[in-house]
Amino acid sequence: MSLDSARARWEKTTLAASLAKVPERKARFTTSSGIEVRRVYTPADVAGAEYSSDLGWPGEPPFTRGVQPTMYRSRTWTMRQYAGYATAQETNARYRYLLGHGQTGLSVAFDLPTQIGYDSDHPLARGEVGKVGVAVSSLDDAETLFGGIPLGGVSTSMTINATAAVLLGMYAAVARGQGVRTEDLQGTVQNDILKEYVARGTYIYPPRASMRVVTDIFAFCRERMPRFNPISISGYHIREAGATAVQEVAFTLANGIAYVSAALAAGLSVDDFAGRLSFFFNSHSNFLEEIAKFRAARRLWARIMRERFNAAKPESAMLRFHTQTAGCTLTAQQPENNVVRVAFQALAAVLGGTQSLHTNSRDEALALPTEESVRIALRTQQLVAHETGVADTVDPLAGSYCVEAMTDEIERRAREYIDKIDGMGGAVAAIEAGYMQAEIADSAYRHQREVESRERVIVGVNDFKVSEKPPRRLLRVKPEVERRQLRQLASFRRKRDEGAVAAALSGVKKAASGEENVVFPIVEAVEARATLGEISDALRDVFGEYEAR
């Protein structure tokens, strides 16, 4: 009997009898992306797939099954908790705490003034110093931040975009101070400015000037810090802003295409830089869709790099990514439930083949996490790695009719979006026209409507509610922190050679006005003890500032 007729028989007999007694919960089941979830998947749903070209082998294009041949059998993913608050002193203590509890990489959260190029003493920094991350205005701050942490032996990810060149310069200077060669430094600088215009908001300069700084950083890293990832092309924040899983993949890869095109236009050759591109995704709540999303993103990127950009080296087509569990799914209600949400999301990321992972803490819908909350979040990863057994085989869900069908569908829908964006002139033009922003806002609003109509159940928020007392023991960043940071910055300024600072800043302006790589003079300015705000101002003078539409 053929599969079709076998299915018809089952539907007419067993299924029909069951539906007559127990109807299904909904007329239609859908994922976040509106993909219809079928009742049951069969070989017919993956009939078009060709194993060698659509799945292939781990560590080989199209990397659907993972970027390393052995995946977590050799080494588990890097457990990397994003952390930073108050001043460099407090954050340094948090890093030592995390490393002491088995974390295997650092991830720096900077406060908003640092991200937007304002020193802590700038009027617009008031109230924001040390709030969402650590305040770093000066080289002294950077030295304190990494004090006692041997930078030759740890990989560090820095969530920094508009001011990435400055922080990269500071990191290199601290490392040299420890006697570590910059060539040996490992880590990632986010340096993904496009998603700042789309979703995250820490831009400074207009898009085209910013794109030039991005590609200057590629060239700088290639020369001075070849083991550092010069960009982390990020879907995380796009998803947090309300995008669906398909939009997350599509807009992230569209931005990736824009960076590759910009680097090629700047004279770099694809196999010289593409292997160092890295990515950053969100792990949201729909477990199967998320696993499929990671696999689809990997395969689609490999195809884009080979077909569109003629990448020859396999590494150039390899989508390596960091994952963070979805902050926007955390609830202020019954916050202990967040531990469970995060565990499922972490498991999806691992089943999706992530290279590193941040697990959110239970209290983050209300405040920065306490030490205890962060420890539970880190333990969640250690549980997945050492107790569940999912790390013992490569890509365990490959071959699941459902996961493979969803992987195909996400890739197909993401491609449609990318074609549309190509038609608009690429990601930069689409962002300038507000296209991605509007698509994301529509999805966010639809999600909210679904939650309010209870079409989508959020446990503890629109169903299964209890009356509860507000949580105690939240982490607070006290106002004294801002005052202490201002004193430290004033003392830094008093102790430096103002002539050297002025000369270095004019070097930055000169490079920015011309064609030469702007990162080298920025690094020199950092070493001459110019502050982050001063360097950013020098660039503002030349590039101007971006005004959102």
Which residues make up the interface to other proteins (CB under 8 A)? 112-113, 115-116, 118, 124-128, 131-132, 196, 199-202, 240-242, 328, 331-333, 365-368, 441, 444-445, 448, 451-452, 458, 461-462, 470-471, 474, 477, 548
- Reduce the DSSP state of residue 456 to 3 states and report it: coil
Q: Nearest distance from residue 211's CB to other proteins, in Å?
A: 19
If the CB atoms of residues 463 and 516 are measured against other proteins, the closer one turns out to be 463
Kindly tell me which of 241 and 347 has the beta carbon lying closer to other proteins: 241
Residues 6+ apart with CB under 8 A from 195: 233, 234, 235, 237, 238, 251, 252, 255
**From the CB of 79, what's the least distance to other proteins, in Å?**
25
Q: Are 241 and 436 in contact (CB under 8 A)?
A: no
**Distance, CA of 355 to CA of 323 (rounded, Å):** 8
- Other CB atoms closer than 10 Å to residue 532's CB: what's the count? 31
Q: Of 90 and 272, which has the nearer Cβ to other proteins?
A: 90
CA 461, CA 473: separation in Å to the nearest integer? 22
Smallest separation, CB 28 to other proteins (Å)? 24
Nearer to other proteins, 2 or 453 (CB): 453
**Main-chain dihedrals φ then ψ at residue 325, nearest 5 degrees:** -65, 160
Q: Which amino acid is at 349?
A: A
State in angstroms the smallest separation of the CB of 489 from other proteins: 17
Minimum distance between the CB of residue 236 and other proteins, rounded to whole angstroms?
12
Among 131, 108, 111, residue whose Cα is nearest residue 358 = 108
**C-beta of 527: minimal distance to other proteins in Å?**
27
Cβ nearer to other proteins, comparing 130 with 256: 130
Please give the full DSSP string across 398-451, using - where no structure is assigned: TT-HHHHHHHHHHHHHHHHHHHHHHHTTSHHHHHHTTHHHHHHHHHHHHHHHHH
How far apart (Å, rounded) are the C-alpha atoms in residues 104 and 219?
28
User: Which CB, 367 or 503, lies closer to other proteins?
Assistant: 367
β-bridge partners, 463: 459
Assigned token pair, 497: 């050679």
Instruction: Give the integer Cα–Cα distance in Å for 109 and 103.
Output: 16
Q: Please list, in sequence order, all residues whose beta carbon lies within 8 angstroms of the beta carbon of residue 479, skipping any fewer than 6 positions away.
A: none
- The least distance separating other proteins from the CB of residue 163, rounded to whole angstroms, comes to 13
CA distance 258 to 427: 6
Q: What does the radius of gyration of the chain's CA atoms come to, in whole angstroms?
A: 24
Q: Which amino acid is at 286?
A: N
Shortest spacing between CB 427 and other proteins, in angstroms: 18
Identify the CA nearest to 229 among candidates 158, 179, 282. 158
**CB nearer to other proteins: pick between 328 and 424:** 328
Q: How far from the centroid of its chain's Cα atoms is residue 106's Cα?
A: 14
Q: How far is the CB of 338 from other proteins (least distance, A)?
A: 12
By beta-carbon proximity to other proteins, the closer residue of 384 and 481 is 481
By beta-carbon proximity to other proteins, the closer residue of 240 and 408 is 240
